[in-house]
């Protein structure tokens, strides 16, 4: 071989290794940026959830206060106790959050009236008097509610309603103890327990827990109380959290703590959002928290996958370099073929792993991050293939007099060229802007696609095409082919042996166009040509028809489907502002795609 060719081969290797090193730094920077974004996004979501919890708590307590304000009791010295007692019973029946009611006269507290339900926890005046503001309320009648007090791992709040006689003189106070656990259960499902694997809690000014999913935590100071129960735990960050909450009205922070609802207390990094609220004359802090790694775990997986992919690319480049030198020295290709087969198997295993990881991803932000990483990797692969194609062309020129070696080099060149074309398609698909479009008759590209798929069809299945109409359209032929390939493959997988698949081209019915998905007013007064791909498979049930275009959704096993085929179809259609219609029954399924006719050239 000429020294010049070997020189360019070495230069290509150096360039690829340099690109790979830059790729490592790029992925690390992308991971760092994504991690910061995940933290900001998590804190923003927690603030919204915490505000929603605050509104629910305040509105629930305000509702109870409003019910008490509507009580029309009249208490006088003659004592209409039987009538008043009946009215209190009616109030208990009206609102289940009231389990006990105490009517305390100002002059003679021993003559208090009490009404309790069968499920009441606070059922005696002695327990109600745990409220340190009760005596002041009986003197001044100036408070809407008292202070929080605790009994049997539950927190209670007394609501006050002054009672007047016929002359308007204050004669008694109606005390309604509220079980704050009942208030908390109304907000629990609306906060973090389901989607974010966290919870909302409420504390008073003494940092004692008054609302929490764990009854064991109620009444405990978050530092001193917990230290008595769990003396061996680390409370450094909790002390920092307490100090910040006592000195700031609201905010967010990250800190190390424990999930107090779990039997096994493991130290985890949490994100928290908090805000102080006013309940009557009381100050409470409402705080919502979730585990930071719940937001960051997928980013770590993607970072590891990206590093692994670049490492594999580095190994592949080095192997290709060795193989090219072996070809130059006219050595046998058996060892190279074995390595390529082994590499193919390894790539398939990697692909299956990535596919499984992607299928577990449910949030739109995760799909965006993966798309960015994929585009970056394909771009680097495209840059690698360009010098590789150039070097193979040099080898073809050098060995054109050696038919056997020339033929083998040509096979390598064709395979590399196909990879180069495929990478450009992936990059084009990832762009938001429209690709370059050409005018062509729809039937030509459909027929070419059907011919290609016929070769791949099992002998037990039949693929036919019917052309009832034809017209020129402006489109990217590659995108039309991608739609047809994906829909035919989907029909092949859904149909049983002996099934039939039919591709039909027709002039779209203007009256039926409005029933298509993605229909907009800009399609009014336009003629459309449509192609329909139908099969005689078992059909798609109605309960999943709305999900089939979701990325990574599939009813097939991990070996048979990625859940991306129909997502790609819909993405191309939306990108070009075409129309899509799905019809399915137990007798079969059909997908119709309508494309505006942009020219006057039609053919029947």
C-alpha 331/C-alpha 337 separation (Å) is 12
Question: pLDDT band at 194, cuts 50/70/90?
Answer: very low
Question: pLDDT band at 2, cuts 50/70/90?
Answer: very low
* pLDDT value at 324 more than 70: no
**Mean pLDDT, range 341-365, rounded to an integer:** 58
Tens digits of residue pLDDT in 499-518: 899 999 999 888 888 788 77
Q: Mean pLDDT: which of 136-145, 205-214, 482-491 is highest?
A: 205-214
Strands (E), 454-561: 462-467, 470-475, 500-507, 528-535
Q: How far is CA 227 from CA 91, 231, 261, 354, in A?
A: 42, 5, 16, 44
- Identify the CA nearest to 378 among candidates 309, 311, 324: 309
C-alpha 476/C-alpha 156 separation (Å) is 69
Question: pLDDT band at 27, cuts 50/70/90?
Answer: low
C-alpha 200/C-alpha 218 separation (Å) is 13
Greater confidence (490 vs 243) lies with 243
| pLDDT recorded at residue 157 | 92
Question: pLDDT band at 284, cuts 50/70/90?
Answer: very high
| Helix-helix angle 403-430:565-576, to 10 degrees | 60
* pLDDT value at 361 more than 60: no
Cβ atoms of residues 269 and 293 within 8 Å: yes
Cα dihedral sign, 126-127-132-135 = negative
Greater confidence (594 vs 319) lies with 594
How much of the chain exceeds pLDDT 90, in percent? Answer: 18
Q: What is the mean pLDDT of the chain?
A: 78
Cβ atoms of residues 271 and 229 within 8 Å: no
Instruction: Tell me the DSSP string of 12-32.
Output: HHHHHHHHHHHHHHHHHHHHH
Q: Is 324 exposed, middle or buried (0-12, 13-18, 19+ CB in 10 A)?
A: buried
Query: What is the 8-class DSSP label of residue 233?
Result: S
What are the backbone dihedrals phi and psi of residue 435, each rounded to the nearest 5 degrees, phi first?
A: -80, 170
C-alpha 430/C-alpha 155 separation (Å) is 55
Residues in the chain: 604
Give the angle 499-502-506 at the CA atoms, nearest 5°. Answer: 160
**pTM of the complete model beyond 0.95:** no
C-alpha 198/C-alpha 563 separation (Å) is 30
Question: pLDDT band at 35, cuts 50/70/90?
Answer: low
| pLDDT recorded at residue 235 | 93
- Identify the CA nearest to 92 among candidates 61, 68, 116: 116
C-alpha 549/C-alpha 566 separation (Å) is 5
Lowest mean pLDDT, pick from 222-231, 292-301, 377-386, 534-543: 292-301
- Identify the CA nearest to 155 among candidates 145, 141, 144, 142: 145
- What strands lie across the sheet with 199-204, from one edge to the other? 209-211, 199-204, 282-291, 267-279, 250-258
| pLDDT recorded at residue 414 | 77
Cβ atoms of residues 271 and 43 within 8 Å: yes
| pLDDT recorded at residue 338 | 67
Question: pLDDT band at 202, cuts 50/70/90?
Answer: very high
**Mean pLDDT, range 329-343, rounded to an integer:** 60
Q: 3-class SS at 295? A: helix
Question: pLDDT band at 574, cuts 50/70/90?
Answer: confident
For the CA atoms of 568, 573, 576, 579, the dihedral, rounded to the nearest 10 degrees, stands at 180
C-alpha 387/C-alpha 326 separation (Å) is 18
Instruction: Tell me the DSSP string of 119-173.
Output: T-S--SHHHHTTSTTHHHHHHH---SB---EESSS-EEEEEEEEEE-TTS-EEEE
Q: 3-class SS at 549? A: coil
Cα dihedral sign, 128-134-137-143 = negative
| pLDDT recorded at residue 129 | 86
Residues 6 or more apart whose Cβ sits within 8 Å of residue 344:
none
Tens digits of residue pLDDT in 54-67: 888 888 888 888 88
Element (H, E) at 286: strand 282-291
- What strands lie across the sheet with 113-116, from one edge to the other? 113-116, 100-105, 170-179, 155-164, 149-150
Question: pLDDT band at 307, cuts 50/70/90?
Answer: low
Question: pLDDT band at 492, cuts 50/70/90?
Answer: confident
Residues 6 or more apart whose Cβ sits within 8 Å of residue 482:
425, 429, 568, 569, 572
Question: pLDDT band at 432, cuts 50/70/90?
Answer: very low
Lowest mean pLDDT, pick from 37-41, 424-428, 503-507: 424-428
**Mean pLDDT, range 159-183, rounded to an integer:** 85
Return the number of other C-beta atoms located less than 10 Å from residue 118's C-beta. Answer: 6
C-alpha 563/C-alpha 593 separation (Å) is 20
Lowest mean pLDDT, pick from 236-245, 418-427, 443-452: 418-427
| pLDDT recorded at residue 276 | 95
**Mean pLDDT, range 375-400, rounded to an integer:** 72
Beta bridge partners of 258: 267
Question: pLDDT band at 306, cuts 50/70/90?
Answer: low
Element (H, E) at 174: strand 170-179
Residues 6 or more apart whose Cβ sits within 8 Å of residue 467:
443, 446, 447, 504, 505
């Amino acid at each position: 071989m000429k020294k010049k060719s070997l020189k360019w081969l070495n230069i290509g290797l150096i360039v690829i290794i340099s690109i790979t090193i830059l790729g490592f730094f790029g992925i690390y920077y992308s991971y760092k940026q994504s991690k910061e974004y995940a933290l900001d996004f998590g804190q923003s979501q927690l603030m919204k959830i915490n505000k929603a919890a605050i509104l629910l708590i305040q509105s629930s307590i305000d509702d109870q206060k409003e019910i008490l304000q509507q009580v029309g009791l009249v208490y006088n010295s003659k004592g209409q106790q039987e009538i008043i007692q009946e009215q209190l019973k009616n109030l208990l029946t009206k609102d289940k959050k009231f389990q006990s009611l105490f009517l305390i006269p100002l002059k003679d507290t021993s003559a208090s009236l009490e009404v309790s339900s069968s499920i009441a926890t606070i059922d005696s005046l002695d327990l109600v008097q745990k409220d340190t503001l009760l005596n002041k309320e009986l003197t001044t009648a100036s408070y809407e509610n008292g202070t929080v007090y605790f009994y049997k791992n539950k927190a209670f709040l007394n609501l006050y309603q002054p009672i007047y006689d016929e002359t308007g003189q204050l004669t008694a106070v109606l005390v309604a103890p509220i079980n704050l656990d009942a208030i908390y259960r109304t907000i629990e499902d609306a906060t973090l327990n389901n989607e974010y694997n966290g919870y909302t809690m409420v504390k008073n000014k003494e940092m004692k827990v008054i609302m929490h999913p764990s009854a064991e935590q109620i009444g405990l100071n978050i530092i001193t109380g917990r230290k008595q129960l769990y003396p061996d735990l680390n409370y450094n960050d909790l002390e920092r959290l307490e100090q910040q909450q006592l000195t700031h009205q609201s905010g967010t922070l990250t800190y190390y703590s424990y999930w107090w609802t779990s039997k096994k207390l493991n130290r985890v990094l949490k994100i928290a959002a908090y805000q102080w609220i006013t309940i009557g004359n009381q100050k409470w802090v409402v705080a919502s928290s979730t585990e930071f790694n719940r937001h960051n775990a997928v980013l770590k997986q993607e970072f590891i996958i990206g590093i692994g992919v670049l490492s594999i690319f580095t190994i592949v480049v080095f192997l290709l370099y060795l193989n090219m030198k072996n070809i130059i020295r006219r050595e046998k290709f058996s060892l190279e073929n074995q390595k390529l087969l082994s590499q193919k198997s390894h790539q398939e295993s990697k692909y299956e792993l990535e596919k499984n990881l992607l299928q577990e991803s449910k949030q739109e932000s995760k799909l965006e991050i993966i798309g960015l990483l994929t585009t970056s990797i394909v771009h680097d692969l495209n840059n690698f293939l360009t010098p590789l194609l150039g070097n193979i062309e040099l080898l073809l020129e050098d060995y054109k007099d050696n038919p056997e070696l020339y033929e083998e080099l040509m096979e390598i060149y064709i395979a590399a060229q196909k990879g180069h074309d495929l990478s450009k398609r992936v990059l084009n698909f990832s762009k938001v802007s429209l690709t370059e479009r050409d005018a062509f008759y729809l039937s030509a590209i459909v027929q070419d696609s059907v011919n290609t798929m016929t070769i791949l069809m099992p002998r037990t299945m039949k693929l036919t095409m019917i052309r009832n109409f034809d017209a020129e359209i402006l489109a990217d032929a590659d995108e039309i082919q991608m739609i047809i390939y994906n829909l035919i493959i989907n029909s092949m997988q859904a149909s049983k042996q002996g099934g039939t698949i039919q591709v039909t081209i027709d002039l779209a019915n203007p009256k039926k166009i409005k029933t298509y998905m993605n229909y907009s007013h800009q399609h009014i007064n336009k003629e459309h040509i449509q192609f329909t791909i139908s099969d005689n498979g078992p059909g798609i049930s109605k309960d999943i028809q709305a999900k089939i275009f979701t990325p990574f959704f599939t009813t097939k096993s991990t070996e048979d489907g990625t859940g991306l085929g129909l997502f790609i179809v819909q993405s191309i259609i939306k990108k070009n502002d075409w129309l899509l219609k799905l019809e399915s029954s137990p007798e079969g399924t059909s997908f119709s795609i309508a494309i505006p006719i942009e020219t006057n050239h039609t053919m029947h």
